[in-house]
Amino acid sequence: KQAERAKHLEQLRAREEEKRKELEERRARHARELASMEGEEMRLLKSLTQCQDDQRAAFMELETLIRESNTGPRRPGTAASATSSEAGGVKLLALK
């Protein structure tokens, strides 16, 4: 009876050790995965920032093209001529 109990305790210890190692491996794997995800998150944020910078530059360029296209000759007294004058004034201020 004592031998059976000792054998049973040894089996329980072996299972416990196996589970402990499995848990340690799982924690290590999760830590690696988390580090990888954090690295990917940083790369995505950098990419997003670059896209936003590119978008901002494209809008500024588009705004400039619109202003330049609105500075052409217009008939006096039309809404387009008012816009044209305003755009021309902005352009002149920017050149000073």
- Give the tens place of pLDDT for each residue, 24-39: 999 999 999 999 999 9
Q: Are 87 and 75 in contact (CB under 8 A)?
A: no
Spatial distance between the Cα atoms of 68 and 80, rounded to a whole number of angstroms = 13
In this prediction the pTM is 0.52
Among 1-10, 14-23, 64-73, the range scoring the smallest mean pLDDT is 64-73
